[in-house]
Amino acid sequence: MQSAMISSKEVMSRTGISRATLNNYIGLNLIPPPSVRPPKEPGGPTKIGYFPEWVVERIGKIHQLKGQGMRMSQIAMHFMDEKEEPTEVKAEPLSHQWLDQIIFPAILVSRTWQIIGLNSMAEKLLLGENRGGLQSPVRKGFLQSSLIKELIDRFANWKEILILHIRLAKKDMGVEILRSLRGEEDSQLLNEFRQLWNEVQLLPYQPFRQQSLSLKEQDGSAREYTLLSWELPEGTLLLYTPASMQLGQMMDFFTGRAKIPKVALLRKTPPQRSLCVLAVRLESELHLQAALPPSRYFDLINQIFLGWHRCFSDHGAIPGRSFQEGAVGFFLQEPERKNDHIFQSLLCAKALQTMAWRLDREWRSKQAWNNSLRVSIGVHYGRDWLGMVPSPLAFEFTMVGDTLAEAVKLSEFSQRGTVWASKEVIENLSPSDRERVEFGIRLEPHGEGFVSLGLYSLVGELLSQDELEGRKLQSIRDLAVSEILDVLS
C-alpha cells in the first residue's frame, strides 16, 4: 500500500530540519526526491514538493545515528540494504533552468544547432525583448531564417555576428543546414547565408574558445562583448559576456569554481561504486592570469585541460568536476578487470606528471620566462555514490561521500609536482601491480631527502599543526599516505 504524502513544509516542521538539510539528505539518497505537484489548497506557491510520510521516521533515525557518532557516508551505507515502502515518484522532465542562474546572456544549442534553452538576458540581447523562453520563435533553430531576420532588423553588422556563430556551427553541421533552408520564402536571404557558410573557415577543435563580438545597433550605437563557447555533452553553450568583464570572473565558470546549485538532477538512484579518484592541480610560481595576456592564458588553459581530459580518457577514467585550476578523474571498477582501475589511476598520475614537464619546457621556450609549471596530484580509493549534478554551465559527474573531498585535499598536500596516494590505493592493488609501484616517505616530504621505501605516514605526522591549519588540511590529518615515486607500465 502506498504511503500517504506530506508537503516539504510539513516534513521540516515535524523534524525540525532546515530546507538546506532536507536537500542534503536528498542528495545523499537518504530520502527520495520530492514529487512536485500543484498544492492541495488554492493560493500560495503554484507547485509544492511532496514526500512519503515514512520520510519523517527516516529523518528521526538519521538524527539518532548522527548522535551515535556516525558520519553521513556511513549513515547512507546503513540504509543501502533496507527495503523502503514502495512509492511511485515520477521524475520531472529534465529542464535547463540552470541557464537562468548565469549572470550574463546564455544559449544552449544542440549538435544540429536547435536551441535547447536560453535565459531571458539572451533573448533581450538578440531580440531586444524577453519573449518568455518557450514561446520564443527562435527556439526552432539558431541558424534558421527567423533568427537571422531578427539580427538583420536589429544590427547593422548582422553578417559579422552570423559569421562568428557559423565558425562554431561548422564543426557540427555540413551542407544539410543549407538543405534545411531550401523551403524558406526569402531566396535572397538563403543565397546570402549560403555564401557566408561557404566562405567561413572551420575552426580547429577546442573545448572552449573566445571570440570578440561587436553588436552595432541600427541607430549607430555599439556594444562590445566576448563570445565564449563551451563544448558540453548535449551541445554547445554560448555565453555573451561584456568585453570589460575580468578574465578571472569568466574562468570561475570555465574551471568549475562557480557555485553548484543545491538541487541535483539525479535521474535514478545513484549507484554506490568502488573507485579511485585522481585530483590534479596546476602549480605555478606566477599568477597566470596576471602574467599572461588573455589570449595566451586561454591557449594555456585549453592546452592543459584538454590534455588532462585526454589522459583521463586514455586510462579509462571519467572526467569529473573541476576545482580551482585543477580537475578530477573517476576510475571505476570493471567486473572483468577487478583491480586494474586502481593501477590505471597511478599510471595516469605519472602520465600527467610527464605531460606537465613537457608543457613546462615548451612554455619556458615559447614565453621566454623563468616560471615553473607543475602538477600536484592526490589519488584516493573509496566507495561512494556516483551521480550527475548541474553546475551553472554544465552537467558534471561527481560523487557523494568522503573520497572526492579527501582526494582534492591530498592534491593540495602534494606540493612541488609530487604524486601522493592514500594507503587504501596501494593496499587494494593486485599483488602483481603492487610490485610495479615504488612508493615511500622522504625525510623531507616535498624535498630530495632520503626515502624510506614501502612506508606510509599520517598527513598529520608530516606537517606541523600550524601548517595543517594554515593550509586547511585538518580533515585529512589522520589519512595514511605515501609518495608515489615510480610506476612501471
Map grid coordinates 599543526 to a residue.
Answer: 465
Q: Residue 66 maps to which CATH number? A: 1.10.1660.10
- Report pLDDT for 378: 95
* Banded pLDDT at 421 (limits 50, 70, 90): very high
* Listed range (32-46, 91-105, 464-478) with the worst mean pLDDT: 91-105
User: Does 81 have pLDDT greater than 90?
Assistant: no
Is residue 103 a part of any domain in this protein?
A: yes
Q: How far apart are CA 325 and CA 232, in angstroms?
A: 19
Query: Of 49, 78, 107, which residue is a domain's last?
Result: 78
CA distance 226 to 242: 6
Task: Examine the domain organization and report whether 32 and 135 are in the same domain.
Answer: no
Range of the domain at 346: 254-487
- 261 falls in which pLDDT band (50, 70, 90)? very low
453 and 345 share a domain?
yes
Q: Which of 267-271, 307-311, 439-443 has the lowest mean pLDDT?
A: 267-271
pLDDT tens readout for residues 303-356 = 888 788 888 888 888 777 666 678 888 888 776 666 788 999 999 999 999 999
Could you give the 3-state DSSP secondary structure of residue 174? Answer: coil
Q: How many domains does the chain have?
A: 3
402 — phi, psi (to 5°)? Answer: -90, -20
Scanning the structure block, which residue is given the C-alpha cell 516539504? Answer: 8
Residues 436 and 352 in one domain: yes
Q: Are residues 17 and 110 in the same domain?
A: no
Report the pLDDT value the prediction gives residue 262, as an integer from 0 to 100: 30
Q: How far apart are CA 436 and CA 427, in angstroms?
A: 13
Weakest mean pLDDT among 232-246, 421-435, 449-463: 232-246
Q: Under a CB-based contact definition with an 8 Å cutoff, are residues 386 and 332 in contact?
A: yes
Mean model confidence pLDDT for the chain:
77
Indicate the pLDDT class of residue 411, thresholds 50, 70 and 90. Answer: very high
Q: Are the beta carbons of 31 and 51 closer than 8 angstroms?
A: yes
Q: Which three cell numbers stand for residue 367?
A: 614565453
**In-domain check, residue 87:** no
Alpha-helix runs per DSSP H in 229-379: 247-254, 288-291, 294-314, 340-367
Q: How far apart are CA 248 and CA 481, in angstroms?
A: 34
* pLDDT tens per residue across span 3-16: 578 888 889 889 88
Cα–Cα distance measured from residue 127 to residue 253, given in angstroms and rounded to the nearest whole number:
25
Q: pLDDT-based confidence at 395, cuts 50/70/90?
A: very low
SS3 202: coil
Residue among 379, 378, 359, 360 nearest 370 (CA): 360
The most confident of 108-122, 174-188, 415-429, by mean pLDDT: 415-429
Residue 92 lies in a domain: no
Q: CA 113, CA 18: separation in Å to the nearest integer?
A: 42
Is residue 239 located within the same domain as residue 270?
no
Q: Which helix (H) or strand (E) holds 485?
A: strand 480-487
In a domain, 89, yes or no: no
- Cβ burial 286-303 (10 Å sphere, 16+ → b, else e): eebeeebeeeebbbbbbe
The per-residue pLDDT for 85 is 40
Same domain as 417, residue 301: yes
Cα(220)–Cα(102) distance, integer angstroms: 29
Mean pLDDT of 77-93: 46
Q: Which region among 114-128, 135-149, 222-236, 295-309 has the lowest average model confidence (pLDDT)?
A: 135-149
Decide: 12 and 22 in contact? Cβ < 8 Å.
yes
Buried b / exposed e along 9-47 (16+ C-beta atoms within 10 A): eebeeebebeeeebbebbbbbbbbbbbeeeeeeeeeeee
- Whether residue 476 is found in the same domain as residue 450: yes
Collapsed DSSP state (helix, strand, coil) of residue 385: strand
DSSP, res 311: H
Same domain, 258 and 241: no
In a domain, 196, yes or no: yes
Euclidean distance between CA atoms 343 and 347, whole angstroms: 6
The torsion of the CA quartet 279, 280, 285, 290, rounded to 10 degrees, works out to: -100
Whether the predicted pLDDT of 278 surpasses 70: yes
Average pLDDT on 449-456 reads: 79
- Coil/strand/helix, residue 280: strand
Residue 62 per-residue DSSP state: H
Q: Are residues 288 and 199 in the same domain?
A: no
Average pLDDT estimate for 173-185:
59
Low-confidence winner among 40-49, 104-113, 126-135, 388-397 (lowest mean pLDDT) = 388-397
Name which of 373, 383, 440, 437 is nearest 406 in CA terms. Answer: 383
CATH number at residue 176: 3.30.450
Report yes or no on 30 lying in a domain: yes
On whether both 264 and 184 belong to a single domain, the answer is: no
**CATH number (domain holding residue 464):** 3.30.70.1230
Looking at 78, 107, 137, the residue that finishes a domain is 78
